[in-house]
């Protein structure tokens, strides 16, 4: 293809992005703050670069005559990427679009201003204490969350004003701006929506059904594709998501939207102007549709019409398996146990032998995941359950 792309990140979430670039015959120039990340060996060129080092990043882009920039499942480099795109003419979001996608206050303002249904809320900025008067129009339970965090960090459901005050400090601790949002709790079923927008046209690739941890924390513990919804519900979800994409200004990009299907219709929770995390875009969606969102993201970044044709209809699921909190891992099962199973797609241990199992209050604390595909829902669930049983029987905790 005689094209070169600069990929931000070489972690486990960017592996498929690097691989898909390589399959396309695109030269992959990859940067990461770590010295030896998983994707280093698969990149054509790799550089260890601090995540805030704009000048070095720009020099690397110029050195390799880069044609486009892309990242996978990450928000941290997006501001730098927007700046680089503005200076170098790459296809990427403008800075204001990045801000609307990263800051939940700006996002909510964009939704409200464009008549996108969303939860009503109150904003408490740096130093501003939560008061009963400011939330008097809302009924408990409520959601408290930081205005600018990710991976469910600091997001909690509260049932009283006392609980709201109890979790205020924790929610603020995840906000760089020390700003939190208190908003009405939407009762219903939660889904995420994986899309690609190219030259103003949005294609919804898949709708994902979410499984959330018990409250007060709202950690995503499993994702199922396709979501168990009717055709009419799917149409309503897609319509709202496309409206939200327009409201934020997302174009020539992947997006990952989160919605709640309530008895009063579909409501937007939030949207990311990027590929979805939790291996949804890299493995889960490809396993259920045959569409590689990583490949499509590389193509879009280079100005090439993306390949979005569904190859097959299958079921896929990733589950994050809970282990006993406070225990120390003495021995982890050999991953070959899963790899030999029918329908195996992916698995990963986020902890190592000798680590202590933490309480799960946000996504980064989940200890292990397994991802399988199947021709039907029943076979898929059976495969997931067998994998969980293998882990529980083989792992040694002390």
Do the bridges between strand 265-272 and strand 253-262 make them parallel or antiparallel, or are there none, so unpaired? antiparallel
192/285 same-domain check = yes
Instruction: Give the Cα separation of 180 and 169 in Å (integer).
Output: 10
Are 93 and 38 in contact by the 8 Å Cβ rule? The answer is no
Together in a domain, 210 and 140: no
Tell me: the pLDDT tens digits for 306-332? 999 999 999 999 999 999 999 999 999
Predicted TM-score of the model (pTM):
0.92
Model confidence over 97-134: pLDDT tens digits? 999 999 998 999 999 999 999 998 899 998 888 999 99
Clarify whether residues 107 and 232 are in a common domain. yes
Same domain, 107 and 150: no
10: pLDDT strictly greater than 70? yes
Q: Are residues 55 and 164 in the same domain?
A: no
DSSP state of 341: S
Q: Based on the fold, state whether residues 68 and 216 are members of the same structural domain.
A: no
Q: 364 and 306, same structural domain?
A: no
Do 27 and 99 fall into the same domain? Answer: no
Q: Are 334 and 353 in contact (CB under 8 A)?
A: no
Asked if the model's pLDDT at residue 348 lies above 70, the reply is yes
DSSP string over 104-171: HHHHHHHHHHTT--B--EEEE-TTPPP-TGGGTT--SSEEEEETT--TTTT-EEESSHHHHHHHHHHH
Question: Does 303 lie in the same domain as 219?
Answer: yes
> Is the per-residue pLDDT at 226 higher than 80?
yes
The whole-number pLDDT of residue 1 equals 66
- pLDDT for residue 126: 86
Residue 45 burial (CB < 10 Å; 0-12/13-18/19+)? Answer: middle
296: domain CATH number? 3.30.470.20
Query: Using CA atoms, how far apart are residues 228 and 234, in angstroms rounded to an integer?
Result: 9
Q: Which of 313, 342, 363 is the last residue of a domain?
A: 313
Give the percent of the chain with pLDDT over 90: 89
- Judgement on whether residues 269 and 227 belong to the same structural domain of the protein: yes
106 with 234, same domain: the answer is: yes
How many distinct structural domains can be found in the chain? Answer: 4
Domain boundary among 313, 339, 365: 313
Q: Which domain covers residue 199, as residue numbers? A: 94-113+187-313
Q: Which residues of 202-240 are buried (b: 16+ CB within 10 A; e: fewer)?
A: bebbbbbbbeebeebbbbbbbbbbbbebeeebbebbbeb
Strands 189-198 and 253-262: antiparallel
Same domain, 105 and 252: yes
Q: Fill in the DSSP letter of residue 187.
A: P
Phi then psi for residue 286, to 5 deg, are -65, -35
CATH number, residue 24: 3.40.50.20
Written as six digits, the tokens of 194 are 């994986």
Average pLDDT, the chain: 95
């Amino acid at each position: 293809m005689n094209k070169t792309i600069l990929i931000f990140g070489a972690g486990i979430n960017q592996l498929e992005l690097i691989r898909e670039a390589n399959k396309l015959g695109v030269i992959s120039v990859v940067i990461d703050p770590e010295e030896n990340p998983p994707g280093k060996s698969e990149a054509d060129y790799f550089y260890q670069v601090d995540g805030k080092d704009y000048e070095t990043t720009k020099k690397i882009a110029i050195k390799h005559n880069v044609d486009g920039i892309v990242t996978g499942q990450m928000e941290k480099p997006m501001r730098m990427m927007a700046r680089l795109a503005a200076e170098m003419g790459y296809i990427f979001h403008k800075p204001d679009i990045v801000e609307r996608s990263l800051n939940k206050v700006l996002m909510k303002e964009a939704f409200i201003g464009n008549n996108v249904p969303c939860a009503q809320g109150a904003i408490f900025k740096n130093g501003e204490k939560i008061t009963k008067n400011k939330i008097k129009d809302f009924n408990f339970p409520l959601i408290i969350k930081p205005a600018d965090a990710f991976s469910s960090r600091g997001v909690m459901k509260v049932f009283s004003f006392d609980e709201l005050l109890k979790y205020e400090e924790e929610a603020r601790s995840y906000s760089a701006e020390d700003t939190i949002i208190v908003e009405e709790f939407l009762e219903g079923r939660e889904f995420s929506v994986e899309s690609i927008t190219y030259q103003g046209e949005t294609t919804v690739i898949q709708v994902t059904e979410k499984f959330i941890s018990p409250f007060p924390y709202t950690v995503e513990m499993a994702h199922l594709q396709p979501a168990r919804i009717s055709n009419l519900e799917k149409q309503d979800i897609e319509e709202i998501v496309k409206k939200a994409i327009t409201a934020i200004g997302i174009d020539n990009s992947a997006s990952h939207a989160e919605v709640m299907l309530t008895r009063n219709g579909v409501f937007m929770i939030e949207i990311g102007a990027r590929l979805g995390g939790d291996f949804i875009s890299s493995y889960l969606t490809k396993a259920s549709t045959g569409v590689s969102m990583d490949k499509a993201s590389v193509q879009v970044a280079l100005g090439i019409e993306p390949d979005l044709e569904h190859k097959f209809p299958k079921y896929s699921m990733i589950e994050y398996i809970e282990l006993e909190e406070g225990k120390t891992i003495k021995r982890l099962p050999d991953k070959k146990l899963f790899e030999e199973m029918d329908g195996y797609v992916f698995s990963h241990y986020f902890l190592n032998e000798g680590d202590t199992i933490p309480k799960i209050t946000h996504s980064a604390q989940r200890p292990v995941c397994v991802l399988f595909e199947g021709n039907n829902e029943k076979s898929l669930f059976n495969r997931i359950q067998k994998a969980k049983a293998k882990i529980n029987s083989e792992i040694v905790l002390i």
